[in-house]
Structure 1
Amino acid sequence: MTGKSVEVGDLFIFYGLLKQGAAGQPADLPLDSAGTFGAPCRFRARMVDLGGFPGVVEGNQLCHGVRWKLTDTTIMPAMDAFEDVTEDPATSLYLRKQIPLMDDTGAESGETAWIYWYNRPADGYPPVADGNWPLEAGKTRK
């Protein structure tokens, strides 16, 4: 996690199980009532298949995600718990951080969004084709 707190109106990038309609999306996470799903978006990273769910790590691939605008911050502990974010970066499976959004050409759009960034070595995991996690590919993690 970063030192900055999440606020109403902040954008998130969902690129895997939290995308609207994704297989494996947690049924007990009220994403539709705590925020608004928006248009597709792009970001720079390297997306890997971790075995039924993706992770993103440092890289220069133009990846695909979906915008989500937060309207109710009380969902944040449940979202962080789903992504195994802890107070200690050494034990977190993912870290929540802000990154720039890109347009379809790969240029920065001027917006930033929170993203759940994989916090373990990704060596040996297969890349996700075109940096776009298929909706039907997910499996429930918990």
Structure 2
Amino acid sequence: MGAGIVLIVVGILGFIPGITTNYSELRFFGPDSKALFLGLFQVSMLLNIVQLAIGATGLTMSRTAMGARNFLMGSGLLYIVLSIYGFIVGVDSAANFLSLNTMDNWGLHGDGRSNGRRRLADDKAPGRRRKDPVINPRDIGSRE
């Protein structure tokens, strides 16, 4: 739930002048958007909307433990893919449709790894019961 709330807050703050510097240069999408969230992370309206959508998905999925774990793994994978995409296409490329700069790419990469680690750590938590059945090889074929 916490990750979803944070993403929604970040998505909203990306639309607020002052928190987002160069606000007059905020564009809907593309590398021409020169607005900077907290003066560091290049943002566009599309990127803010994506953050809001991912956050809302996180809130919805966090209603169950399995949903929360799946959200962490899925959003972690998505963020790693977006960071790699951002590193490959570069900051000034027309293919940079989300308006990602180098700080965004590193931030997305870190968030992706962090989400994946939280998901994996949760699976290895002491006392967690296995949800999948454990089959004893000696029981196979012994049904009457």
Larger Rg: 1 or 2?
2
For Structure 1 versus Structure 2, the TM-score category normalised by the shorter chain is under 0.3
TM (norm. structure 2) is 0.27
Larger relative contact order (CA 8 Å, sep ≥ 6): 1
TM (norm. structure 1) is 0.27
